[in-house]
Structure 1
C-alpha cells in the first residue's frame, strides 16, 4: 500500500512540475500574434510619420488630395493611403468618426488630431511625436510641422491604427 501511495504522490508532483514548466517555457499563440500585430502597427505608424513629414513645404489648396498640394483632410487621407494602405474618408467631418478616441496625454505617432467640435471638427492634423504634428494649415502656410500649444490646442484625438 505504501508503494502505491508513494507512486501516486510522485506522479502528482511530476504532473505539477511538468505542467508548470510547460506554462513557463511555451509562449501562447495569442501573445505571439499580438506581438506581431503591435510590430506591424508600429511600422505603419512610423511610415505615416515619415510620409507626413515629407509633405512639409507643399502647398495648400482647398479640396486638394496631393501629391503636390493638400487641404487638411486631403493630407491625412493621402498619407494614410500611401504609408499604411488605409483608406480614410475624404472630409474632416467624416474622418473624426474613424478609429477610437484617445486622451491627449496618451498620443501615439500617427494619431489624428482634430480642432473644433469633437463631433463636427473644422481641421485635422497628424501627430508625429515629441509634442508635434503635421497639417495643411492655410493657403499662405501650406503643409507645416508645429508644436502643440495652448493657443491652438486640439479638441479631440483618434487612433486609427
Structure 2
C-alpha cells in the first residue's frame, strides 16, 4: 500500500513539474498580438507602426541583454520594435545598429529614426525618435523604458534612418 501511495505522489509531483515547464516555455513572441501590430506596407505606415509599438513599451523594465517583450535594454528595445512593427531585422547591439541605414541630420528627423548617444561611431545608447521632439528608449535599470523630450543636456551624437 505504501508503494502505491508513493507512486501516486511521485506522479503528482511530475505532473506539476511538467505543467510548470510548459508555462515557462511559452514563446515570448506570443504576447505580440496581430491587432497590436498592423501589417504596414508603405514606409510612412511602417514608421507609424514602429512609433506605436515603441510607445506601448513605455513603463516596461530595463534588463541588460533583454530583447522583450517584458523587459529590454536599449538595443533590445530597438531590435524588438523594428522586427515586430517594421518587419526589419536589426543587429542586436548598439555598436552594430549604428552601422545600419543612412545618417540623417538631427534637424531632419522622421518618426522611427534611430538616435545614438556617445561616440557617433561606437555609441553607448540608442533610442527611437517618435516625433514632436520626443523619443522612446530603455533608459536605465531603475527607470525602464521611457518617452522623453530631446534636450541639450542629453543630446544624441548621431541619427540613422533605417526605413
| Same fold, judged at TM 0.5 (above) | yes
Shift >4 Å, 4+ stretches: none
- Listed as ranges, the matches of 1:26-45 within 5 Å are 40-45=42-47
Larger of the two Rg values belongs to structure:
1
* Superposition map of 1:9-20 within 5 A: none
| Aligned residue number for residue 117 of structure 2 | 115
Shift of 1:124: 0.0
Match of 2:54 in 1: 52
CA distance in 2, matches of 1:84, 1:135: 17
CA distance in 1, matches of 2:141, 2:92: 19
Alignment of 1:61-140 (within 5 A): 61-140=63-142
- Aligned match for 2:154, one of 137, 152, 155: 152
Number of residue pairs the alignment of both structures matches:
123
SS in 1 for 2:95: helix
SS at match of 1:44: helix
Secondary structure, in 3 states, of the residue corresponding to 1:128?
A: strand
Instruction: Give the SS at the match of 2:125.
Output: strand
Structure in which a larger fraction of residues adopt helix:
1
Question: TM (normalized to structure 1)?
Answer: 0.76
RMSD: 0.7
